[in-house]
Amino acid sequence: MPGPVDDDPTGLDDIERRLREIRDNPEKPTTLRALAQYQLERIAALRAAGRTPGTERVPSVAVERLGPFRFSTIPGTAVVGIEIEREALAPLVAVVSTEETRLLMPLFQQVREHVERGEPIRLDIREAFLDLIGHDPFHDQI
């Protein structure tokens, strides 16, 4: 018997689900909940912009993995979803611009080198993002 059909092979629905969990959790800080709502609105706008009248077409999403990082991009847009897996903790989820992603390339290259050598990845995500893009897109998640 064939397995279930994966109607979201890109994982964008999973990112949205996690953002909704953050937004709807009254125990999370107000700022974090507002950021999750903002990110959900950006994703919804991107999906709406990709639909053509009379269809339910959603823009294709490209997903790439690099160590603990999972990147989701919608071609033709200026945003990238970043999910960072953490042992025994909920993953970190954020949406950044493609320009910010370009600025983060030294971090991703460092991670790639560790992954290629089979070394553990030990870095301060918050500090790295602050240094490279000037803000913490995972505010109050770390």
Tens digits of residue pLDDT in 57-98: 555 667 788 878 888 886 677 788 888 888 788 888 888 888
pLDDT at position 6 is 44
For the sheet with 62-66, list strands across it.
62-66, 69-73, 79-86, 89-97
Query: β-strand 89-97 against 79-86: which pairing, if any?
Result: antiparallel
- For residue 61, being part of any structural domain is answered with yes
- For residue 125, being part of any structural domain is answered with yes
**Reduced to 3 states, what is the DSSP secondary structure of residue 62?**
strand
pLDDT at position 2 is 44
CA 46 – CA 27 distance, rounded (Å):
29
pLDDT at position 52 is 46
- For residue 36, being part of any structural domain is answered with yes
- For residue 2, being part of any structural domain is answered with no
Q: Which two tokens stand for residue 60?
A: 């294709």
Nearest to 38 by CA among 102, 125, 96, 83: 96
Q: How many structural domains is the chain composed of?
A: 1
pLDDT at position 48 is 65
Q: What is the CA radius of gyration of the chain?
A: 16
- For residue 80, being part of any structural domain is answered with yes
Give the model's confidence band at 140: pLDDT under 50 very low, under 70 low, under 90 confident, else very high. Answer: confident
Query: 107-130 pLDDT, tens per residue?
Result: 888 888 888 888 887 888 888 889
pLDDT at position 132 is 92
50 is in which domain, residue-wise?
Answer: 12-133
CA 140 – CA 5 distance, rounded (Å):
35
- For residue 5, being part of any structural domain is answered with no
Give the model's confidence band at 133: pLDDT under 50 very low, under 70 low, under 90 confident, else very high. Answer: very high
- For residue 52, being part of any structural domain is answered with yes
E strand or H helix at 79: strand 79-86
